[in-house]
A = this chain, B = another copy of it.
């Protein structure tokens, strides 16, 4: 599966990530220092509060995005407590808040996989070394990055075991035992699992030694069915990216050079990150008969002839969480699309005098009850150790889409203040929203939808303003040098594709499925070209 494949040459041009350590979450300590000032301000103003921005803070702990994108990314991961480094180089501990985003991804995709006829199951992670060697391009692609178990129960093993980097080989080994006749087809399964790839340059979520993913594997009686399945699954990923993650991916086919080791065709969704680098966010492979020939996965067709099955595999991984961070985050921290946010609404009760507390807490609870009974993920931050200002910044940094503030005046007037994460300052703030449950619920639902759409729209316009149509190699080089994506007709050779990689650091991300209709000439050779390709630097 290629979700996390690192195109080799690209990695040479990638910025060297800071590896150790993720900064300690200093956030809390820093905000404690300034909290009393903020508190006073909030209290003075009743319930609305001009809040100090992170970037106005001298002791800022989140590096501004524009200053150092990679440092910003690592700061967010540390401060929002999404992940931490594991003790082994390149491994990652996914912390509860980061894992909850992954669970939201799982919840959505798992339903879609089942609706389209796939069953979950589980294959062992230890694969005999000899299996990996059976499919020629597969072993070439994966052998440099294998983790190998050589000792079991205190003894040297006779055959070394590979810790799965992907499961096509063991899946085919089992498929040969389950598939006999055309009646056993299609066989459509999926597994949620951990996989291991001994990557040299790692970055939390984006590329780690061990990561979590789902890998679908299917076997079909005809090449048409396999192709249809590969397309169906990339379509599910595309819809997921747009509708749930608010990431406007470009769906396309990989060039031969970039195709998964062992596949006939690889479909991909490519996302533009905030630094305009591309992230391969999911892939779906038409494996043809490559693995079935290597493993002898055959079936008796309706005419009594033995045939090799036609296969697909497809995957999305925890890398996607990195994609969400790098698509939507800003200088204030994470910004989560409401549909995948572990907390969609944070309620912050605000009080000054002890005798105001009870009424404010009661109103906060009732608001929480209203929203959570409608299935909205809502949390009250009722900590007494932190000021409202501190809480505003903290939950903004955690990317929560909506904040509800309730102070004593709000209780008197039966209303609340609601702020959007995606629109800073007063512009994103609405005063006097009635606490009446049906009014409040309708308002919150509507605002969550608005935030969801607005994140997608913003990402679309960001993407579109950074893709340049090019018709010559010089134009391509210029676009890439400006940090943009270049889109242009391409029918040149693999060698010329590699030359682009070497000279510009950009690779063909994909031939988009959505192609312009007009006649085209290859930007490199001037020969006629059937398709435009998109070139970009990538993770």
A161 to B183 Cα, complex, angstroms = 44
Selecting from A124-132, A230-238, A423-431, A492-500, the interface stretch reads: A124-132
Of residues 134 to 167 in A, which have CB atoms within 8 Å of B's CB atoms? 143-154, 160-161, 163
CA A148 to CA B150, docked complex, whole Å = 6
A371 vs chain B, min Cβ distance (A):
18
Q: Which residue of B lies closest to A99 (CB)?
A: B121
Number of copies: 2
A198 within 8 A of B: yes
With a cutoff of 8 Å between Cβ atoms, the chain B residues found around residue A525 in the complex are none
**Closest B-chain residue to A153, C-beta based?**
B198
Report the minimum CB–CB distance from A440 to chain B (whole Å): 25
Whether the Cβ atoms of A152 and B148 lie closer than 8 Å is: yes
Instruction: Encode contact with B along A88-111: 1 for CB under 8 Å, 0 otherwise.
Output: 100111111011101100000000
Q: Which residues of B contact A174 (CB under 8 A)?
A: 84, 86, 93
Q: A87-B170, A194-B193 are in contact. Are A93 and B153 (CB under 8 A)?
A: no
Which B residues are CB-close (under 8 A) to A151?
146-148, 150, 160
A119 touches B99 (CB 8 A): yes
A124/B88 in contact, CB under 8 A: yes
Residues in chain B near residue A127, CB distance under 8 A: 87-88
Which DSSP category, helix, strand, loop or mixed, fits chain A's interface?
mixed
Shortest distance between the CB of A188 and any CB in chain B (Å): 10
On chain B, the residues within 8 Å of A212 by CB distance are 122
- Complex CA gap A306/B444 in Å reads 45
| Inter-chain contact A100/B124, CB cutoff 8 Å | no
Say yes or no: is A443 at the interface (Cβ < 8 Å to chain B).
no
A121 touching B95, Cβ below 8 Å? yes
Question: Whole-angstrom distance between the alpha carbons of A177 and B23 in the complex?
Answer: 12
**Residues of the B chain whose Cβ atoms lie less than 8 Å from the Cβ of A193:** 194
Write out the residue numbers on chain B whose beta carbons fall within 8 Å of the beta carbon of A161. 88, 147
Q: Are A146's CB and B153's CB within 8 A?
A: yes
Q: Is the CB of B123 within 8 A of A153?
A: no
Instruction: Specify the chain B residue showing the minimal Cβ separation from A143.
Output: B154
Besides A91-B126, A147-B153, A148-B151, 16 new A-B residue pairs in contact (Cβ under 8 A), listed by A number: A84-B174, A84-B178, A86-B124, A88-B128, A93-B121, A93-B174, A96-B189, A125-B194, A126-B196, A126-B209, A146-B151, A146-B154, A148-B149, A149-B150, A152-B198, A193-B194
Give me the 3 closest cross-chain CB pairs, A-B, nearest first.
A153-B198, A96-B119, A91-B124
